[in-house]
A and B are shown apart, each in its own frame.
Chain A
Amino acid sequence: MSATSARSGVDARSRAKLRTITLFLLPALVLYLLFVLFPVVQAAHYSVFKWNGLEPLDNFVGLKNYETAFNSDAFKTAVSNNLLIIVLSLAIQIPFSLSLALLLNRRFPGRAAFRLIFFVPYVLSEAITGVVFTLLLQPHALVDGSLQAAGLGGLVQHWLADTGIVMITMFIIITWKYFGFHMILLLAGLQGIPRELEEAALIDGAGRWQAFRYITLPLLGPTLRVSIFLSMIGSLQLFDMVWVMTGGGPLNASNTMAISMFKAGIKNQQMGYGSALAVIIFLFALVLALAYQRFVLRRDVEGALTAFNG
């Protein structure tokens, strides 16, 4: 900036404003740099070493840790499990939440109670949810017993012990835990849509489906896109509940990327390899988030995030 000192007061004022902004941003910025950016850089640094956390950091191995990760069956399973949860969440969990939100947006007695009941699972911590479902899903426990009592004994499975079933079980529990959250989110979105629009469409001869498809859904778009975004990021970070319930087993069948990272870095003391996995997860999430924001959320956050890169 080549501003002369004898410029108008506008410039001085904006400089003062900038100073104030900087001053107020500084504490948050320092914390962010120290606890978010610095560890990310550090992890990237560790990831090119073979290091157990004890020895000096001198065994440089280049990209070998990344190679190991992509050759590891356990990590490949983890990636496909994370993707599976993303796909199932988008295909089942969000539509389910949306239909419940539409239902609960109508006036009927007990509506508030239902909203509350559906939201309650979200309040539980993932670890507690994991413990509770582990108990319910034990062989011959409540779930198996209920199925048998209902004459559906044929449906009984080794919910957490069968490598072919365990991810489906996980998805059902994740859905149970998070549908209420998405429902509330979408409900808030629905309430922001003026009723007159739908009424007008109905008067103009649109059917219920048409009104939903061409009025409600487009107007709900911003909320829906945020809901999908949160669901995707959550699926990528999946850890607590799975760790508590199966530890990624049996035989890595319910492994997730975060579990792989935790096992390598903390349990196996392979800090270098664990860091490489952390970097992979980070890049995965970053690319997904940026792409989603760039192409999907763009309309919703116009000016806020997209202004910088056009």
Chain B
Amino acid sequence: MERRMALLETTARAKRRNRCRSRAAEEAPISELTLAVRSVGRFRRHPLTTARPTASIKEKAVNLVPKRLVAGIAVIALVASACSSSGSGSAVTVNWWHISTTDPAKSVFQSIADAYHTAHPNVTIKITILENEAFKTKLATELQAGNVPDLFQSWGGGIMAAQADAGMLKDITSDVASWKDTINPGALGIYAYKGKQYGVPWDMGMIGVWYNKALFKTAGISAPPATWDDFLADVGKLKTSGVTPLAIAGKDMWPSMHLWTYLVLRIGGKATLDQMVQSKNWNTDACTKAGAEVVKLNALTPYQDGFEGATYDNEAALVGNGKAAMEVMGQWAPVVEAADSTSKTGIGADLGWFPFPTVTGGTGLATDGVGGGNGVAVGKNASPEALDFLKFISQTNNANAINAANIGLSPVLGTEATVTDANLKLVLAGRATATNMQLYLDQATSPAMGTAINEATIALFDGKSDPAKVCKAITDAAAAQ
């Protein structure tokens, strides 16, 4: 999951380069606002001034920036006060830990915090930015010591569940009740555990099949496959045409695990998969049938030479260089393919996306997805102000800012229009209609279970296991939890 976060940041950075020029012109107000806030933000982030922000600090900050930008701050204040009605009270500090160490994410988050402070002068948002790995280590240490930040980065799933079980998180089910309908339910569900809400997402993507339109055409395939049988037939055609039909990564394991998850989901349905995760019994029909489909796929020898030792970067390079026709991957795929390709531009307009095909006879919905993203978890001591700020982050204007800066795909409903990248729009279309969202299985479960699932499934793709063995291995690992 670190990997995915890093990729997301790369995505944001790479995309920003292409976008800023054109977007800046259309959206002058936003960039101006961001700029203004950023200069104030830098000033306020000083350790001495973060503790007790007063009017005088604000004045100084304002004096430091040109008049033109003061107008920007005023606009933010206006927007912010229009959106929230929380009045002034005694001074409160909200601690927020996030892991966006680079721009644009860093400054967007700072500007959201500053806008909130402007609207609620008594509330200070104290941001702590940590690098991903440092964040995990520091959070674990602080949690053990009982110092839980009010708001902090979370991916939901198994790690969040462990934090909730340890009593470190606040049950915010009733606090979000009034506004939870503004957020994609599938995405929100990832931050719920045992029926209680512990966090809120600000980014949510979905895994699908990225494919090379030109290679499909050469192989005589006119349209992306809608069913798994078509998919297998297309794999055969691609193989005959002389390309690698499907790239996977045996060393990193998780890319093919997602393919297997989709098969389980399509065959058994979301309820069955949930049941498997919760009951810790994976010896089910859905599991063995999914494995049998992988065996069918294996029989076509669809993967690249030496895939057993390949990394995700190897996989992305094959697709990016037009050597492999497909990969099952998340929304970050286009950027990584480009970065890992020899030309550094990937396959450009030849790249397409389709949702994972349905399996004939399966009870799963074609619209169910596998995905994941980023969110904010709420610590056990969080104040009402912290929760109000969480709501503020999830407001349409801030969600739009996240989309526009390409930091993530906001799960706030009605903000889809601010995503402009053609590839991401495809993913978004899939996600918007998603009936259920299954979090990446290696994140939905505990880290140890995640490893067990990855290792069991890659053995199947390597041809060194069989469907029943996979289900048993995962069940055994679950029993040891």
Contacts and interface: CB of A to CB of B under 8 A. Distances in A.
B252 to A, nearest CB: 8
Given A250-B458, A251-B458, A54 B163 contact: yes
B226 to A, nearest CB: 33
Interface in B152-171: 159, 162-163, 165-166, 168
A53 B139 CA distance: 11
A252 B455 contact: yes
B130 to A, nearest CB: 17
B447 A268 contact: yes
B451 A268 contact: yes
Interface string B445-481: 0111011000100110010100000000000000010
B310 A268 contact: no
Q: Interface on chain B toward A: helix, strand, loop, or mixed SS?
A: helix
A270 to B, nearest CB: 5
Contacts of B307: 161
B314 interface: yes
Q: Interface on chain A toward B: helix, strand, loop, or mixed SS?
A: loop
Contacts of B310: 161
B250 A267 contact: no
B64 interface: no
B447 A163 contact: no
A161 B309 CA distance: 4
A160 interface: yes
A269 interface: yes
Contact of B446 (A158, A160, A163, A269): A269
Interface string A258-300: 0000011001111000000000000000000000000000000
B309 A54 contact: no
B218 interface: no
A162 interface: yes
Contacts of B163: 54
B168 A54 contact: yes
Contact of B162 (A54, A162, A246): A54
Contact of A250 (B159, B251, B451, B480): B251
B305 interface: yes
Given A138-B314, A268-B451, A269-B448, A250 B144 contact: no
Nearest to A141: B306
Contact of B455 (A52, A138, A162, A251): A251
Contacts of A180: none
B144 A54 contact: yes
A299 B162 CA distance: 55
B453 to A, nearest CB: 12
A20 interface: no
A247 to B, nearest CB: 6
A68 interface: yes
A1 to B, nearest CB: 45
B455 A247 contact: no
A51 to B, nearest CB: 11
A250 B454 CA distance: 12
A165 to B, nearest CB: 10
Nearest to A263: B451
Among B159, B304, B307, B455, the most chain A Cβ lie within 10 Å of the Cβ of: B455
A45 interface: no
Given A267-B447, A269-B446, A53 B306 contact: no
A102 B458 CA distance: 47
A127 to B, nearest CB: 15
A55 interface: yes
B295 interface: no
Contact of B251 (A53, A246, A268): A246
A249 B251 contact: yes
A249 B464 contact: no
Contacts of B71: none
A63 to B, nearest CB: 15
A15 interface: no
Nearest to A254: B309
Nearest to A64: B480
Nearest to A74: B455
Contacts of A163: 308, 464
B448 A53 contact: no
A17 interface: no
Nearest to B141: A53
A139 interface: yes
Contacts of A263: 451
A118 to B, nearest CB: 29
B140 interface: yes
B35 interface: no
Nearest to A139: B306
A173 B196 CA distance: 52
Interface in A192-250: 246-247, 249-250
Interface of B: 140, 143-144, 159, 162-163, 165-166, 168, 250-253, 304-310, 314, 446-448, 450-451, 455, 458-459, 462, 464, 480
7 contacts: A54-B140, A138-B306, A139-B304, A249-B309, A250-B250, A250-B309, A268-B446
Given A54-B168, A251-B455, A251-B464, 15 more contacts: A54-B144, A54-B163, A54-B166, A158-B306, A158-B309, A160-B306, A161-B250, A161-B308, A163-B308, A247-B252, A249-B458, A251-B462, A267-B451, A269-B159, A269-B446
Closest 9 pairs (CB-CB, A-B): A161-B309, A161-B308, A268-B448, A139-B306, A160-B309, A161-B306, A250-B308, A139-B305, A54-B166
